[in-house]
Amino acid sequence: MKQLNSKSIAMLALLVMVLCGCKERIEEEARYTFVGHTIASFLESNEEIYSSFIEILRRGECLSLMKAYGEYTCFAPTNDAIERYLYEQDSIYWTTLAAGDPIWTGITSPELSELSDSMCKVISQTHILADQYLTTDMEGDIIPTMNMNDRYLSLGYDVDENNMAVLLINGTAQIIAKDEEVENGVVHTLASVLNPSTNMVPTQVKEHEYFRIFSEALELTGYDEMMQLYKDETYTDGDKQHLDIKLQGYCPYPADRYYGFTAFVESDQVFNKYGVFTLEDLIDKSAEWYPNADPSAPYTSKDNPLNQFVGYHLINKKVPYSRLTCYKIALNNFDSEKNLVNYSDRNEFYETMNNRLMKVTVPRSNPKYQSTYLINYTRDGANLPEMAEHVNVKVYDPAEFRTLDTLYTDFAPEALNGSINVIDKVLIYNEDEMAGNILNCIIRFDASTLCPELTNNDIRWRSRDKAGKNAGEIYIPNNYCTNMEVYSEETMHFYLCPYTNWHNYQGDEMMTLGALDFAYKLPPVPAGTYEIRMGYQSETVRHIIQFYVDGEVTGIPVDLRIAASHPSIGWVKDSETDDNGVANDKEMKNRGYMKAPTTYKYNGSVIVREEASTIRKVITTKYLSEGEHWIRFKSVFEGDDGKAQFMHDYFEIVPMTFIRNESLSLEDKRK
């Protein structure tokens, strides 16, 4: 439990007096709107509290921004907080320097006057968001807009010495005065400075001494060097705009292209439970866990067992804990808990940096784990005895992890280019276990997950009121995504931000216009035979598309304008059949179609399976070997005036072993 010290209480009392003056206190949660003030003038009118932060903003070239028109959130640390922060960071640097292993904090003096201008800029940008958030808007575990230093700020809660709830930013910085609204945004006062570390993910891992073994393995395998990327300086399309597809206004291109990474990390204490106390122990154990790998191969080779172990812990997306699955995602006009059926499992499938598939689940259907994030979840446990302690791997909520041991209280999960997620078991990939159990399911992935850039650049799950001037749309340039190949310059891609009233899985959708011709790289699944499907909503404004998989034509073109109730598809509502739709399912499947899943809704209430406009198209059944596989889409609609839409919501790769499993319940097959 965190306690407010006497100095903080005194500062809070002073702040209340300064900000409120003679104003009558209406109620405990009352806030004040400072008419005529900007964020900058509000701070300047209270210099006795914020003078140090004002100086940092000025030297960081952000004070003028806080005077400008717009909507900003400013987390303003007090003078006392900044003084304490400079002293602490200076002490860290000099103490570690004397020990021979210096930690570079960017601060080598406790004096504000000696703080570099560049560090002032980093601190300033860490405390500013280019959107306005009152504390009543702060839901979940992160604020959904990144700060101007391109990081998410995490949210947490604690109680003070009076047992009153307090809001913490990044786990440690308490808001001691909130929701001070001004003309260009809102100010929240902090009792501590937000740590503006510019560490990349590997350095962030290394600076936590309880991740020593994993950090050493990261360096030995060379993955630390692969995770140093931050911003693509060659991307130059950010100043362009493109015509909005609905309202004929304009929507922006992404301003930048950032890289991102996430590491799932075991603490040394977890490794110890598996008999791993040193890097050498981990090398030996990796050879046991990956018996088909080559121990003689260089550690930097993907053939090496240690490399395979480490690579399966890394993904090339920046994913903080609360965004690992579509669970409790609350945005403007979207709430995942209204979009998804309450007790349906929330699955996300990630390609790791050694080209394997990882499943992350919040198993809402399982009373034991309804709000727990698990990697490689299986309700009935492992098939293979040796995998019993390597499935259902829990990802710790950062706030929970900090409470497990006093050693962990300094845990900081967010790096400049990614996130650290701590796990409670040793994570390994076993092909037999994955193919025969964990991935023997409907592998459904939202179309927006196919391109890492949409996650790394705050595009996927962006709030509609924070994107696009008209309809919450973001134009995706043809040269923007690594897992996409574009064969026609007339191809135009849009990301449509989540909306609860749409018939869409996870609320959002990908939309492509024009005489389109492009392809996505599919996620890597274990070798086997699969049915490949696409989910979409039919409308009269849609396209006619020819599908290809690995360059081979898959059937005749598909007219996405036709509703499922058309005789060529044959949809009939379950309640209008004598057998709850069983025979109708088979008839539709024979025609190459399926009803939508039972696991998500539109308008917050109607199961999409009950709607004739939401359909799954069976694209093909194909053996997928190891290696890359691509799915291609080409428009063949001769009547297109440039406005016909290729709406693609999600894809499914489903093992034939799952489809042919006669012991599965009807409910499970319809999920």
Residue 277 tokens read as 């106390």
- Per-residue pLDDT band for 241 (boundaries 50, 70, 90) equals confident
Mean pLDDT over residues 542-550, rounded? 97
pLDDT above 70 as % of the chain: 93
Tell me which of 76-80, 464-468, 547-551 is least confident. Answer: 464-468
Is 90 exceeded by the pLDDT of residue 99? no
Average the pLDDT over each of 155-159, 219-223, 606-610, 654-658 and give the range with the smallest value. 155-159
CA dist 666 and 286 (Å) reads: 40
For residue 634, the model assigns a pLDDT of 98
Distance of CA 505 to CAs 33, 323, 384, 601, 651, Å?
39, 16, 33, 8, 10
Taking the C-alpha atoms of residue 464 and residue 476, their distance in angstroms, rounded to an integer, is 16
**Among residues 591, 643, 634, 583, which one has the least CA distance to residue 615?**
591
Q: Which of 543, 588, 583 is nearest to 566 (CA)?
A: 588
Give the model's pLDDT for residue 641: 86
26-41 per-position pLDDT tens digit: 233 334 566 789 999 9
The C-alpha atoms of residue 288 and residue 115 are separated, in whole angstroms, by: 51
Report pLDDT for 13: 41
Question: Residue 168: in which H helix or E strand, if any?
Answer: strand 165-169
Please give the sequence-ordered ranges of beta strands (E in DSSP) within 239-286, or none if there are none.
241-243, 250-252, 261-266
Retrieve residue 505's tokens.
Answer: 């899985």
The backbone region for 472, taken as left when phi is positive above 0, alpha when psi lies in -120 to 50, beta otherwise, is left
Q: Are strands 614-624 and 593-595 parallel, antiparallel or unpaired?
A: antiparallel
For every residue of 187-209, DSSP letters joined together read EEEESS--------HHHHHHTSG
CA atoms within 13 A on the CB side of 632: 17
Q: How far is CA 37 from CA 54, 140, 301, in A?
A: 15, 30, 59
Rg (CA), the chain: 26
Using the CB atoms, write b or e for 47-69: b if 16+ within 10 Å. eebbbbbbbbbbbbebbebbeee
Asked if residues 201 and 420 have their Cβ atoms less than 8 Å apart, the reply is: yes
φ, ψ (nearest 5 deg) of residue 219? -70, -40
**β-bridge mates for residue 624, sequence order:** 528
DSSP conformation class of 152: P
pLDDT at residue 10 in the model: 40
Contact 523, 500 (CB under 8 A): no
In this predicted structure, the answer to whether residue 319 has a pLDDT above a threshold of 80 is: yes
Render the burial of 274-296: b for 16+ CB within 10 Å, e for the rest.
Answer: bebeebeebbebbbebbeebeee
Other CB atoms closer than 10 Å to residue 546's CB: what's the count? Answer: 16
Q: Give the pLDDT of residue 399.
A: 85
Structure tokens at 177: 């005065």
Q: How confident is the model at residue 401 (pLDDT cuts 50, 70, 90)?
A: very high
Asked if 520 and 476 touch (Cβ cutoff 8 Å), the reply is no
What mean pLDDT do residues 638-655 have? Answer: 94
pLDDT given for residue 248 in this prediction: 63
**What does the alpha-carbon distance between residue 328 and residue 567 come to, in Å, rounded to a whole number?**
39
Q: Domains of the chain by range and CATH?
A: 6-190 (2.30.180.10), 201-438 (2.30.180.10), 443-669 (no CATH)
Contacts of 638 (CB under 8 A, 6+ apart): none
- What is the structure's pLDDT at 11? 40
Please report which confidence band the pLDDT of residue 197 belongs to, taking 50, 70 and 90 as the band edges: low
Q: What is the mean pLDDT of residues 316-321?
A: 94
Which residue in 484, 586, 475 sits closest to 246, CA to CA? 475
Q: What is the DSSP letter of 254?
A: P
| Mean per-residue pLDDT, 254-276 | 96
* pTM score of the predicted model: 0.84
Confidence check: pLDDT of 439 > 80: yes
Whether residue 536 contacts residue 649, with contact meaning beta carbons closer than 8 Å, is answered with yes
Strands (E), 372-413: 373-375, 393-395
CA distances from 340 to 176, 369, 586, 606 (A): 36, 17, 26, 10
Q: Is the pLDDT of residue 16 over 50?
A: no
Judge whether residue 108 has pLDDT over 50. yes
CA-CA distance, 131 to 71, in Å (whole number)?
5
Token pair of 66, please? 């806080």
Average of per-residue pLDDT across 324-353 = 94
Both tokens assigned to 3 = 């306690």
Average pLDDT score over residue span 19-25: 31
Q: Is the pLDDT of residue 466 over 90?
A: no
- Of 310, 279, 635, 341, the C-alpha closest to 491 is 635
Dump pLDDT digits (tens) for 548-577: 999 999 999 999 999 999 999 999 999 999
pLDDT at residue 415, rounded to an integer: 87
Q: Which residue in the block uniquely carries the two structure tokens 């694209």?
A: 619
* Confidence tier at 245 by pLDDT (50, 70, 90): confident
The lowest-confidence range among 21-35, 153-167, 176-190, 534-548 is 21-35
pLDDT of residue 253: 85
What is the amino acid identity at position 614?
Answer: T
| Strands 72-77 and 185-190, bridge-based pairing | parallel
Among 275, 211, 272, 218, CA closest to 407: 211
Q: Please give the pLDDT value at position 469.
A: 58
Res. 636: pLDDT tops 80:
yes
Among the ranges given (44-58, 161-175, 197-211, 401-415), the one the predictor scored with the smallest mean pLDDT: 161-175
In this prediction, residues 391-413 reach a mean pLDDT of: 92
SS3 171: coil
Mean pLDDT across the chain: 90
CA distance 84 to 91: 11
What local confidence, expressed as pLDDT, does residue 294 receive?
A: 98
The pLDDT assigned to 463 comes to 85
- Rounded distance between C-alpha atoms, residue 456 and residue 255, angstroms: 12
Decide if pLDDT at 412 tops 80: yes
Identity of the amino acid at 274: Y
State pLDDT tens for residues 51-77. Answer: 999 999 999 999 999 999 889 999 999
Tens digit of each residue's pLDDT (9 = 90 or more) over 614-630: 999 999 999 999 999 99
